Amino acid sequence: MPRRRLLSILAAVSVALAGAAAAILPMTASNAAEACVSAYSSSAVYTANMRASHNGRNWTAKWWTQGEAPSTGGSGVWADNGACGGGGTTNPPPATGCNHPNWVAGQYYNAGSIVRYTNGLYYRATNANPGYDPVISTWYWAPYTCTGGGTTTPPPTGNTGGFPVSEAQFNQMFPNRIGFYTYAGLIDAVKKFPAFTRTGSDTVKKQEAAAFLANVNHESGGLVYVEEINQANWPLYCDRNQPYGCPAGQSAYHGRGPIQLSWNFNYKAAGDALGIDLLNNPDRVKNEASVAYQTAVWYWMTQRGPGTMTPHDAMVNGRGFGETIRSINGSLECNGGNPAQVQSRINAYNRFAGILGVSPGGNLSC
C-alpha cells in the first residue's frame, strides 16, 4: 500500500476515535453520580468530615453528631454532597463471637462475664459486681476484644475532642440536668479550644475537667438553669459607658449559660472571640447548647475576672482549684466573703475528681 494512502487511512481512524471519545467522556466523567458511601446508621457516632449516604445522597458531618439523620434542616450538622448511586451498604453485624448480652444496670455479674455496653464496645467483669457501669467502675470492668471471627473497634479518640470525661461520667455528675445541656453540645464546644483539658499530664487534664465542671455545676444549679433566676437584676448588666452600648436592650445581658455569662462587654468580647454576634443576639446563649458551652469555655480559657490568672492557667500551673473560684467570683466569695458558696464549689470538685479517679490536689479554697 502506498505510504500516502496509509497515512490518510490512519488520520481518518484517529479522527473517528477522537469523535467517539468526545461522545463518551461526558457520560463517564463529571456527569456521573458519585458512588454512595456507607449508609447512615442512627446508632453510629459521626465526627467532623465523616461521611454517610442517606436517601440516595452522600452527606458529610460538620461536627460531632449521633442519631440525627442527614438532611438540610435540623441543627445544620450535615453538608449535602449531592446525589449518589450504588454502594451505600450498611456495615455487617459483629461476628458470632461478639454476640454477648447487652449490659443492664443493676443486674448482678460474676467475674468473667462479658457484656456489650451502650457505646457498642465490649467489657469483661474483672470482679463480681451488682451491675456497676463498665465505663465508670473501671476496677470492676476492663475493655474486652471479641474473638471467634469478629472484633470491636474503639471509637476514634476525636469523638470527644480529647475531653477526659465520658458521657456516662457526665451523666453521673449531673443527674438532674435539663435536656438543653447536652453532652454533644459540650463536646462540640470543647473541640474549639485545643488547649482545654489537653495540657499537662493525664492527672492535670482530669483535674481541669473536674474543676471546670464543678464551677459550672455551681453557676447553673447542676446544669438546671439556663438564665439568671433573679429577673430584678437583669437591667443591671448594661454598661452604657461602652461605645457600642446595649443594642439588644437594657435587660438583655443578664446571666445565661453554664457559667452565667453577664454584662454587655462580656457578650461583646465572647462573641468577637467565637465569631458569633452575641452583642446583638445574646439569646443564642440560651437557645443553642454548643454556643452556651462555648461561652463557658471561653471565659475559662481567657478571662481572669477578679483573680490574677485564667482558671485554665490556675489548674495547669498548679495554683489549684481555689484560684479558679477567685477568677470566677472571687470578689464576692473569696477571703471570707461567702465561705458557704466556696465550700459548695469545693464539694462538687471533690466529687467530680472522684468520679474521674483522680486526686483533687491542694489549694482547694480561696
Q: What is the set of active-site residues?
A: 219
CA 314 to chain centre: 23
Kindly tell me the burial class for residue 209, based on how many C-beta atoms sit within 10 Å of its own C-beta (0-12, 13-18, 19 or more). buried
| Under 8 Å between Cβ of 228 and 262 | yes
> Could you write out the DSSP letters of every residue in 181-227?
S-HHHHHHHHTT-TTTT-SS-HHHHHHHHHHHHHHHHHHHTTTT-SB
> In which residue are the cell numbers 482547694 written?
364
Rounded distance, CA 285 to CA 302, Å? 18
Single-letter code of the amino acid located at 159: N
Residue 16: φ, ψ to 5°: -65, -45
**Which of 145, 180, 187, 143 minimizes the C-alpha distance to 166?**
187
Rounded distance, CA 348 to CA 176, Å? 14
**Which of 318, 317, 313, 311 minimizes the C-alpha distance to 345?**
311
CB atoms within 10 A of CB 268: 21
> Could you write out the DSSP letters of every residue in 210-276?
HHHHHHHHHHHTTTT-SB-S-GGGGGGG--TTSTT--TT-TTTTS-BTTTTB-SHHHHHHHHHHHT-
Q: Which H/E stretch holds residue 291?
A: helix 289-302
